[in-house]
Structure 1
Amino acid sequence: MSFSRAELEAHCDEIIKDPAIRNRVIVLCEGDTTPFKPTANAARIKAFAQTTQDSAFYYQAIPDWWRTTRRPEPSFYVCGTQDNVLNAYSYLADKHQASQPNESYLNVNKLFAFIDIDLANKKIPKSDYPFKKLWDIYNDLYQQGKVNNSQNHRIWVTGLLHKEAYFLIPELQNLLSQHHSINLPDIYQTMLNYMGKHQDVHENFTQAKTRINHHPLGNSLSIEAFQQNWQQHQTTETDKDALAYILLTLAKAKPVWNGIKSPNGTETSAKADINKNYRDELCLKIAKDFYAKQSRNSDHHLPQFFHRLAQTP
């Protein structure tokens, strides 16, 4: 569920007048806003953001090195859909500009958004933002799959297709094996097999594959050719890891992630909740035990995002 336009503006009004955001980096992100209806006060918004949804994952992924700098932690705010995040960014920036002194505690230079790149090339609603569409942001922010020109951006898009793809990168296999019976090669094969079953992947494949021009599979003329080429390039372990990232850049991770079930699940009416809680706990463990442990010069996308936040005056 997501906010209506009126609910979104009321949500933003609660954020901007909260003294706790003074001199603090603010990050808007996607997530279910149902618990905010009717509109919550600022304290409840912040507490919710740190315990569930996309915001909780990002909060737990705050790097360990950040917590030694004495800088205030960034605050994350769930805004609903991708469109709502973009609208919230525009609304907050414009609202601050139009506010009288003491009506806004926001520092617009510390206002950020982080959303899935997905497949649709959405327009940026804020007319004076230097990039006009999401793909413009992506093409400047990422080069050869790595973060590039990070200083140009306060609206960030994921380098992989979905946030859930960051739960499934090859480096996480040991963590997943230690605590959970999740085999990433099997997951990759499922993602590969299902690529052709998603209409939006078909419609946007030609444009989306420009994201992998740095890899030979960027020459694939169709989804079917990509699937065949992906299988044929499985040779060394290095090749396999590179192919995993290529797949996570183009194929949908979200449905596969949402299909992961708790080993303790039972055939009861609460089974869906058990599985969701299991996935929520797992993604927070990934955030704390992997992403938060990365060094400041790590080239993983999420540590690079925090490095950019830390450079904000």
Structure 2
Amino acid sequence: MFIPFHYYDPKTFSEFLEIANQVQNYQILAGGTDLLVKMRGGYAACQNVIDIKKIQDVPEFQKIEKNQDGLVLGSLVTFSELLDYQEGKPFFTALYEASKVMGCHEIRNRATIGGNICNAASGAEAGSVFLIFDAVVHIRGAQGTRSVSLEELYQSKSKAGKPGISLQNHELVTHFFLPSLPEKSHSIYLRRTRSAGMDLSSLNLSFACYQEKNHEYKYRVAAGAIAPIPCRFREIEQMLSSQNGNHSSLEEVQKKIADLSQPRPNSKRASVEYKKDQVSELLMQAVHSVPFFRL
């Protein structure tokens, strides 16, 4: 049951700032697939809801474009809109794989990229994928615009211990930029669920590998639902880069990622032991999926 609240739908960014300054205690409504469920369940009681979908003077909100440098994604772009934009799929395969299994058609038609990222849920589908693509978050507020890496925002969120990413007063995420990987690259998104059909992931892993100009291979590894926030495993990346096909080293990598994982002990979807075991299995599955060289 909903607790009564005030609803606002500003048409311009300045109108949003005016409302935000007046009401102070508010929640942002984008797609609503997380917020409305929490409000109905009494988990996110708030007095004011500001719907930002009708703001017309921030074109970045709805932008989706693949250019020579990477992929630009507006924070109000839905997962269905992303999947319909096929130009980015060959370069950001893991992102499209994650988007395809994000909820059902109805959810993907409503859920926004920005909402999924900003909510910062541990198992958010886009969270670990954005981390392996070194996503940059573009933010606009009363003091102007700024940009920051998603990894930095997630780390700040973890330290604050509060839900959602940490933004300053009355700021909105306008869009994201995902730099392209080098030409010879590979990315994959993997997950474990409780059923073969539509289900939230018990854990997920995003993986990328690419070859540098000196022919050395570099790796990026991130995972969700195995820590309080989606997290990047830079120590694992370094271990993979230095293992040079040594299978005994791969066993050490498996053990290390399990040790680094910190699943919630009260998770309803899977036990700590299961998640630690399966994140190492997903990593090996990802490593052996790389098509252009043998480990």
Per the normalisation by structure 1, the TM-score is 0.28
Q: Which has the higher helix share?
A: 1
The structure whose RCO (Cα within 8 Å, separation 6+) is larger is 1
